[in-house]
């Protein structure tokens, strides 16, 4: 039986975070069960985009600090890394590091902070379904231990982003967009992420669920207190429990569905042994979820014809917020956005509904608009 461990953590007070991490790790044998003296340990955080910790877009720096210290306490040699979305210029990445608070923590703890784009290698995928190999940061490939440290968040494309989706950041920024273009179908994208998880081989997943994000995640939603740290040696099992806490059928989440179909995840949530707190007691009531893709309710031959009527599309929600920076147009993997003096214009026929523009818009001026048909069908889901 697969194990997931949950500890309460009311806030990001450093002592509270350390105590919660220790409590969550304890039933699993502590950090020493995953890290041996002298091993190199990559702490793979979520640094999606430039945002202060209070916005709940990125892994909180105090969670990172607690993990780094726990790794060192058992003799491991930690480093912290990620590849944010888009073209990662030196200045842009420094601003993400600084605003997220991760740079300060790594400096104070004297830990290397790595941008994976700087040095990449190709790694094979055992038992792949779609991709036999991936280009990832060398630090990912060469680490003795990889720890995935996601944020508890909704996700417009995958419905929920957790320990598996977090590993998408192991791929260099610009290549991420290419995957969206090559794998536009949500089920296939979920299966691709499962392939990536097999290639990156995380030994441990630690979810920052102290404050999560509801609504239009992973960047444009609303912070919501969850009050937990969730730990598991199985990234798939952790995501199943976390998705259930968010109020989803956990197998609606495309990564979870793909993992179960391939025999990599438990068939049912009650096959997971949960230690510590009961996840049901920590589930936030009325947690706002992203809209489902109702096109999957149609026969396969009809789906392409009704997609524009059934799937949420990106729109400019605020002229006042839009800075006309052109970041959305640069990041679109299929060149479906043109920047004008009045803001972005979207080519509805070309748009593949990957939502990269909404995720990575610096001022969050883009939101997802759900067509009337989709809203009607969602009510009957």
Domain boundary among 282, 305, 326: 282
Is the same domain home to 206 and 92? yes
Range name among 15-24, 91-100, 231-240 with the lowest pLDDT average: 91-100
Is the same domain home to 225 and 363? no
Is the same domain home to 276 and 301? no
pLDDT given at position 380: 43
* Within a domain: 224: yes
Average pLDDT along the chain: 92
**Residues sharing a CB contact under 8 Å with residue 333, sequence separation 6 or more, in sequence order:** 177, 178, 180, 181, 352, 354, 356
Q: What distance separates the 2 farthest-apart alpha carbons in the chain?
A: 58
Is the same domain home to 146 and 263? yes
* Within a domain: 199: yes
Is the same domain home to 276 and 358? no
E strand spans, 179-267: 204-214, 222-232
* Within a domain: 165: yes
* Within a domain: 152: yes
pLDDT given at position 266: 95
pLDDT tens by residue, 328-343: 998 888 999 999 988 9
* Within a domain: 287: no
* Within a domain: 32: yes
Report helix, strand or coil for 207: strand
Is the same domain home to 162 and 306? no
Give start and end residues of each alpha helix (H) in 201-343. 235-245, 254-261, 279-282, 303-310, 327-331
Taking residues 344-351, what's their average pLDDT? 90
Is the same domain home to 215 and 338? no
Domain boundary among 256, 282, 308: 282
The pLDDT of residue 211 is above 70: yes
Rg (CA), the chain: 20
Buried b (16+ CB within 10 A) or exposed e, 51-90: bebebbbbbbbbbbbbbbbbbbebebbbbbbbbbbbebee
Domain boundary among 230, 249, 282: 282
Please, which pLDDT band fits residue 309 given cuts at 50, 70 and 90?
low
More confidently predicted of 279 and 355:
279
Taking residues 311-325, what's their average pLDDT? 87
Is the same domain home to 260 and 306? no
Is the same domain home to 266 and 362? no
Identify the CATH number of the domain in which residue 181 sits. Answer: 3.40.50.11440
pLDDT given at position 277: 98
Identify the CATH number of the domain in which residue 362 sits. Answer: 3.30.70.20
Is the same domain home to 320 and 223? no
* Within a domain: 124: yes
Please, which pLDDT band fits residue 292 given cuts at 50, 70 and 90?
confident
pLDDT tens by residue, 140-187: 999 999 999 999 999 999 999 999 999 999 999 878 888 888 998 899
Tell me the C-alpha distance between 190 and 188, whole Å. Answer: 5
Is the same domain home to 262 and 348? no
The pLDDT of residue 305 is above 80: no
pLDDT tens by residue, 99-136: 999 999 999 999 999 999 989 999 999 999 999 999 99
pLDDT tens by residue, 43-79: 999 999 999 999 999 999 999 999 999 999 999 999 9
Containing structural domain, residue 304: 294-379
């Amino acid at each position: 039986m697969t194990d997931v461990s949950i500890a309460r953590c009311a806030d990001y007070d450093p002592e509270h975070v350390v105590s919660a991490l220790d409590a969550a790790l304890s039933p699993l044998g502590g950090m020493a069960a995953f890290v041996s003296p002298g091993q190199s340990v990559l702490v793979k955080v979520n640094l999606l985009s430039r945002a202060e910790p209070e916005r709940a877009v990125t892994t909180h720096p105090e969670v990172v600090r607690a993990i780094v210290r726990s790794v060192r306490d058992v003799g491991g040699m930690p480093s912290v890394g990620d590849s944010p979305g888009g073209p990662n210029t030196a200045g842009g990445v420094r601003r993400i590091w600084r605003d997220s608070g991760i740079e300060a923590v790594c400096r104070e703890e004297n830990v290397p902070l790595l941008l994976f784009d700087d040095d990449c290698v190709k790694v094979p995928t055992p038992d792949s379904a779609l991709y036999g190999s991936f280009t990832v940061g060398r630090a990912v490939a060469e680490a003795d231990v990889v720890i995935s440290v996601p944020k508890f968040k909704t996700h417009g494309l995958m419905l929920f982003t957790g320990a598996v989706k977090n590993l998408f950041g192991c791929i260099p920024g610009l290549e991420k967009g290419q995957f969206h273009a090559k794998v536009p179908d949500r089920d296939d994208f979920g299966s691709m992420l499962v392939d990536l998880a097999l290639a990156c081989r995380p030994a441990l997943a630690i979810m920052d669920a102290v404050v999560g994000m509801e609504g239009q995640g992973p960047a444009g939603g609303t912070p919501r207190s969850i009050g937990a740290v969730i730990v598991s040696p199985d990234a798939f099992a952790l995501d199943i429990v976390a998705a259930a806490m968010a109020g989803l059928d956990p197998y609606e989440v495309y990564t979870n569905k793909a993992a179960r179909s391939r025999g990599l995840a438990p068939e049912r949530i009650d096959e997971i042994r949960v230690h510590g707190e009961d996840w049901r007691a920590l589930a936030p009531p009325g947690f706002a979820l992203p809209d489902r893709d109702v096109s999957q309710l149609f026969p396969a031959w009809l789906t392409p014809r009704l997609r524009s009527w059934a799937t949420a599309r990106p729109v400019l929600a605020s002229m006042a917020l839009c800075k006309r920076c052109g970041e959305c147009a640069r990041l679109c993997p299929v060149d479906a956005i043109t920047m004008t003096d009045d803001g972005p214009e979207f080519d509805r026929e070309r748009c593949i509904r990957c939502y990269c523009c909404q995720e990575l818009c610096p001022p969050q001026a883009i939101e997802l608009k759900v067509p009337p048909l989709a809203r009607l069908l969602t009510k009957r889901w």
